[in-house]
Amino acid sequence: MDRIRIRGGRRLEGRIAIGGAKNAALPLMATGLLTHEAVVLTNAPALSDIATMGGLLAQHGLRVEHDTASRRISLDGAATDFEAPYDLVRKMRASVLVLGPLLARYGQARVSLPGGCAIGTRPVDLHLKGLEQMGAVIELDAGYINARVPDGGRLKGARILFTQVAAGATENLLMAATLAEGTTELVNAAREPEISDLAHCLLSMGARIEGIGTDRLVIEGVDSLHGTAHPILPDRIEAGTFACAGAITGGELLLEGMRLDLFGACTRSLREAGVELLEEADGVRARRLNGLHGVDVMTEPFPGFATDMQAQFMALMAVAEGASMITETIFENRFMHVPELTRMGARINAHGSSAIVRGVGKLSGAPVMATDLRASVSLIIAGLAAEGETVVNRVYHLDRGYERVEQKLAAAGADIERIAG
């Protein structure tokens, strides 16, 4: 298994290209199941999760081409196989996003229940309840979701109230509603920018959607959707990760392609911590002004502070002046970076869904273990500022969501390398 070795203390500066958002690309790829015409996605990131989704769609029968050089994904053709098998779904829970499109267009789907993951149980009950409200008959059998629309009919529009704000459930039901008969209302819908990006792509395919960017989406079903070409939104989490990396080294980075509005509440938290964020013509400039200050954050659905930025921000707070209270409200087990950061000398006391971080003057390099995607990158951020050498093990977690992270950081001045293992 590959490892990444960092020797801390180097100030980062320069430009870092921000890639297309993983969490936009995955649902956008699923739209290929909603039409037999070509769906072309540009600004596509080369990530293992994207390859996994491509493999699943090919298994369904689509023609899938991913040209990483031109950053283009092309999807074409019709599905001939309606099963998403366990060995693919267990690798990536977002595979469940094929459920809505398969039901909407083919009236049937057999999708493995994703199961939990390191950060939480990650149920899909909201996806299933919404599809049942649209007329799907769903049975759980041997770890699979067996779903069908009775009598070979179509899903029916419905008013679906989410009892909890849920990004994936909103995406699945949004896609299903585009081909349903009648009107669907998604109330208390998630508002992540990736959902708006998906909605805009669906509009360009002929879908009829109102309320984009709000917590109430109204979709008028149509009989069919046509192909499209759609640029994938910049990855706000990758950008926020590099903003923390630059700031912890006292550096300055131009996050190429990023837009400030995509940061949501992270903008205010980073600024209060002492990181200046400036929107420029070709991206967002992130630079450390003076010292870093402890800032309290609570993760919330967008536009609140993103849960996917929690681990990275905690690494930054580990060397800030004063204390920071970090509360994780979205997932039940998203503090696995805490013991690893502690091994590097951070002073963190996690208790339930909150962690108090007391900033220290210096972290010390150490061998640490990656446990999930965002925890992995928080250890790299800490290693950039630590005294001595940090080796992050099990970086396959990292490759799911970050493209060439060590190359991008090295180009900005970090002393970092991947050790093939």
Structure tokens at 215: 């917590």
Task: Give the residue closest to ligand EPZ by C-beta.
Answer: 168
Q: Which of 14, 80, 164, 213 binds ligand EPZ (CB under 6 A)?
A: 164
Nearer to ligand EPZ, 52 or 307 (CB): 307
- CA–CA separation, 316 and 294 (whole Å): 9
Query: At CA 340, angle to CA 335 and CA 343, rounded to 5?
Result: 135
Coil/strand/helix, residue 377: helix
* Residue positions counted in the chain: 421
Number of residues that bind ligand EPZ (CB under 6 A): 25
Indicate whether 169 belongs to the interface with ligand EPZ (CB under 6 A).
Answer: yes
Distance CA 325, CA 348 (A): 10
**122 in a labelled binding site:** yes
Q: What is the DSSP string of 57-82?
A: HHHHT-EEEEETTTTEEEEES-----
Segment interacting with ligand EPZ (CB under 6 A) among 6-14, 22-30, 73-81, 317-325: 22-30
Candidates 19-27, 61-69, 261-269, 378-386 — which segment interacts with ligand EPZ by CB under 6 A? 19-27
Instruction: Candidates 52-60, 121-129, 176-184, 214-222: pick the segment binding ligand EPZ (CB under 6 A).
Output: 121-129
Q: How far apart are CA 144 and CA 292, in angstroms?
A: 48
Nearer to ligand EPZ, 31 or 249 (CB): 31
Give residues 318-377 in contact with ligand EPZ (rule: CB under 6 A): 330-331, 373-374
Nearest distance from C-beta of residue 80 to ligand EPZ, angstroms? 25
85 is annotated as contributing to ligand binding? no
**Per rule CB under 6 A, is residue 191 in the interface with ligand EPZ?**
no
Q: According to the binding rule CB under 6 A, does residue 166 interact with ligand EPZ?
A: yes
Quick one: which H or E segment has residue 420?
none
By CB neighbour count within 10 A (0-12 exposed, 13-18 middle, 19+ buried), where does 70 fall? exposed
Among candidate residues 144, 131, 224, the one with its CA nearest the CA of residue 184: 131
330 marked ligand binding residue: yes
Between CA 1 and CA 104 the distance in angstroms is: 40
Cβ atoms < 10 Å from Cβ of 218: 18
Using alpha carbons only, give the angle 233, 214, 75 rounded to the nearest 5 degrees. Answer: 35
Based on the shown chain and the rule CB under 6 A, indicate whether residue 23 belongs to the binding site for ligand EPZ: yes
Question: What is the CB neighbour count within 10 angstroms for residue 280?
Answer: 12
- 89 is known to lie in a ligand binding site: no
Alpha helix segments (H runs only) across 44-192: 48-60, 86-89, 99-106, 125-133, 167-177
162 part of the interface to ligand EPZ, by CB under 6 A: no
Candidates 4, 6, 25, 26: give the one binding ligand EPZ (CB under 6 A): 26
22 assigned ligand-binding residue: yes
240 binds ligand EPZ (CB under 6 A): no
Token pair listed for 55? 């493999």
Q: Which of 28, 73, 111, 124 binds ligand EPZ (CB under 6 A)?
A: 124
Residue 201 catalytic? no
Output the smallest distance, CB 372 to ligand EPZ, in A. 7
Of residues 275-294, those binding ligand EPZ (CB under 6 A): none
Other beta carbons within 10 Å of 361? 8
- Is residue 409 near ligand EPZ by the rule CB under 6 A? no
| Listed ranges 166-174, 197-205, 267-275, 377-385: which one lies at the site for ligand EPZ (CB under 6 A) | 166-174
Cα(327)–Cα(237) distance, rounded to whole angstroms? 18
Binding site membership for UDP-N-acetyl-alpha-D-glucosamine: which residues? 93, 122-126, 308, 330
Active site residues: 117
By CB under 6 A, name the binding residues for ligand EPZ: 22-23, 26, 94, 120, 122-127, 164, 166-169, 190, 192, 307-308, 330-331, 373-374, 401
